[in-house]
Amino acid sequence: MKEDPGAKAAPLAPYQQFYERKAACYHDESSVAGRREKVVLELFPKKDRLRVLDYGCGSGRFLRILRGQGHDVVGMDISEAAVETVRGSGIDAVAGEAETRRGFDKLGGTFDVITALDVLEHTFDPGCVIRNLFQFLREDGCLIASVPNVGCLPARATIMGGRFPATPTGIFDSGHIRWFTVSNLGHYVEQAGGAKLLARTGTPMPSLSKFGLWRLEKLQDRMLAWMAKQWPSLWGYQIVFKLTHAGDEG
């Protein structure tokens, strides 16, 4: 496989060490679909059995959800510990990283769907990651990704208040290298080259539990989900988007 001249070699050793240390923050061994996973699944092709690569799979939460729906799944993650956890649950997983193509020779074959859930913001060159993953995407396949939305209302309020915190997880995660909004998303898609945007939506923000509002949690969830789809730039906690090869309908 030829090297991509556009790929940038990241300092892999300290990069990998960082995510091994943060494994407890990112890795979830449950198999229950949350707000993000439900939105992502709505964008999946309507087929009974798909071959899916989950890039940045962590300990395999989304892989287990997909396997439970009958799909053929493979995971890839920079963390060796995460990969071992996935393998321990009986799912094929590869240790690797898309910017340098480490581990790509072990993937084998192409995929109907490639997912990258809350991964691109942790990379030096998101366009390169998308471009390199696309070589494993079938001609009629799609890549579905989610990224934290630093343009959502809570993040805007935080920044306007003069704060830019570094938190273990969430929008201001200390591991984020790139920051995404609805308005700059097209820039990264264009950088990937050969990719076409098919859909873009948002995940709902967490419902409020203060002042007794927990009693209206279901109503809040419905309202916040509708608002995230209508105005993802403001109300989407994460931006979820679907790409395919330029020229394909997807």
Residue 250 lies in a domain: no
Could you give the CA distance from residue 200 to residue 34 in angstroms, rounded to a whole number?
Answer: 18
Residue 56 lies in a domain: yes
Q: Backbone dihedral region of 211: left (phi > 0), alpha (psi from -120 to 50 degrees) or beta?
A: left
Give the pLDDT confidence score for residue 5 in this predicted structure. Answer: 46
Could you give the CA distance from residue 126 to residue 177 in angstroms, rounded to a whole number?
Answer: 10
- The residue segments making up the domain with residue 211 are 12-245
- Which pTM does this prediction carry? 0.87
pLDDT classification of 81: cutoffs 50, 70, 90: confident
Q: Which amino acid is at 1?
A: M
150-159 CB burial, b ≥16 within 10 A, e <16: bbbbebeebe
Residue 47 lies in a domain: yes
Torsion angle defined by CA atoms of residues 232, 181, 183 and 243, in that order, rounded to the nearest 10 degrees? -80
- Interval 82-135: pLDDT, tens: 999 999 999 999 999 999 999 999 998 999 999 999 999 999 999 999 999 999
Residue with tokens 């909004």: 181
Structurally, the chain folds into a number of domains equal to 1
Could you give the CA distance from residue 177 to residue 148 in angstroms, rounded to a whole number?
Answer: 12
Could you give the CA distance from residue 106 to residue 89 in angstroms, rounded to a whole number?
Answer: 19
Give the pLDDT confidence score for residue 6 in this predicted structure. Answer: 47
Higher pLDDT, 198 or 208: 198
Which residue from 237, 179, 191 is spatially nearest to 99, judged by alpha carbons? 191
pLDDT at 10 over 90: no
Contact 227, 204 (CB under 8 A): yes
Give the pLDDT confidence score for residue 210 in this predicted structure. Answer: 45
The residues near 84 (Cβ < 8 Å, ≥ 6 apart) are none
DSSP class of residue 190? H
Residue 16 lies in a domain: yes
CATH number, position 90: 3.40.50.150
First-residue to last-residue Cα distance in the chain: 26
Which residue from 128, 88, 136 is spatially nearest to 108, judged by alpha carbons? 136
Helices (H), 35-171: 35-42, 61-68, 80-88, 126-134, 153-160
Could you give the CA distance from residue 125 to residue 130 in angstroms, rounded to a whole number?
Answer: 9
Residue 29 lies in a domain: yes
Could you give the CA distance from residue 163 to residue 143 in angstroms, rounded to a whole number?
Answer: 34
Higher pLDDT, 174 or 91: 91
Contact 49, 72 (CB under 8 A): yes
Residue 3 lies in a domain: no
Average per-residue pLDDT for the chain: 88
Residue 42 lies in a domain: yes
Residue 181 lies in a domain: yes
- Interval 214-225: pLDDT, tens: 455 677 788 999
